[in-house]
Structure 1
Amino acid sequence: MRQALALGGLLLLTGFAIAGPTGLLAWSENSKLLDQRHAQIAQLSHERDELRNLVDGLDPEAADPDLVGELLRRNLNVVHPDEVVITIDEQE
């Protein structure tokens, strides 16, 4: 009787080691999720760096005049009567 219980316990543990939530079969799925998370982190880091550059360029003590002009034209549609605005779509 003890041997049957021990065998059943070992088979149960082996089943969890192979097909459980952290078992061998779940490794490939976890690996795919990890790769997706790394790609997402890289994208968010790039966006963070762009925003940091934007904030640094808008420092009230020393704002970048080109950046301020670009933001005024893009967001508030502020242009002089003799200016022509040509927009270029950025490709990612």
Structure 2
Amino acid sequence: MPAVAMAVLGYFGFHSVSGEFGIAGRERIEREVAALEAQLAELRYEREHLATRVSLLRPESLDPDMIDERARINLNVVHVNELAILHLDEPRGR
């Protein structure tokens, strides 16, 4: 009976240290959590930025500059008396 108890304790002791959810696994999980939290913060920032831009296009708060900007980007048009400055490092549409 003591040998069986020692075997069971040894089995659970081994897996509590080196198992998937043991001490070694906890470090891996904590690294994954940190990476996912960083990704979440980045996505939240991007969502806020997009929500702000969308709010400028709502009918109750139309911003004439935003409409003009979107029309010029989509239609690729400028007035004759305007100077166009191209930013090649920025993706089109931003």
Deviation at 1:61, TM superposition (A): 2.6
Query: In the TM superposition, what are the counterparts of 1:68-83 in structure 2 within 5 Å?
Result: 68-83=67-82
Query: In the TM superposition, what are the counterparts of 1:38-57 in structure 2 within 5 Å?
Result: 38-57=37-56
- CA offsets per residue over residues 35-64 of structure 1, 9 Å max, x none? 111110111001100111011100123311
What TM-score do the two structures reach when normalised by structure 2?
A: 0.84
Percent identity, aligned pairs only, is 35
Q: Which has the higher contact order (CA 8 A, sep 6+)?
A: 2
2:55/2:61 contact within 8 Å kept: no
Could you tell me which amino acid in structure 1 is paired with residue 41 of structure 2? A
Deviation at 1:31, TM superposition (A): 1.4
Q: Which runs of 5+ in 1 are unaligned?
A: none
Deviation at 1:5, TM superposition (A): 1.1
What TM-score do the two structures reach when normalised by structure 1?
A: 0.85
Deviation at 1:86, TM superposition (A): 1.2
Which has the larger displacement, 22-31 or 73-82?
Answer: 73-82
- CA offsets per residue over residues 6-59 of structure 1, 9 Å max, x none? 111101101110011110001221111111111101110011001110111001
Which has the larger displacement, 81-90 or 9-18?
Answer: 81-90
* Structure 1: distance between partners of 2:29 and 2:2: 36
Query: In the TM superposition, what are the counterparts of 1:3-82 in structure 2 within 5 Å?
Result: 3-82=2-81
Q: Which runs of 5+ in 2 are unaligned?
A: none
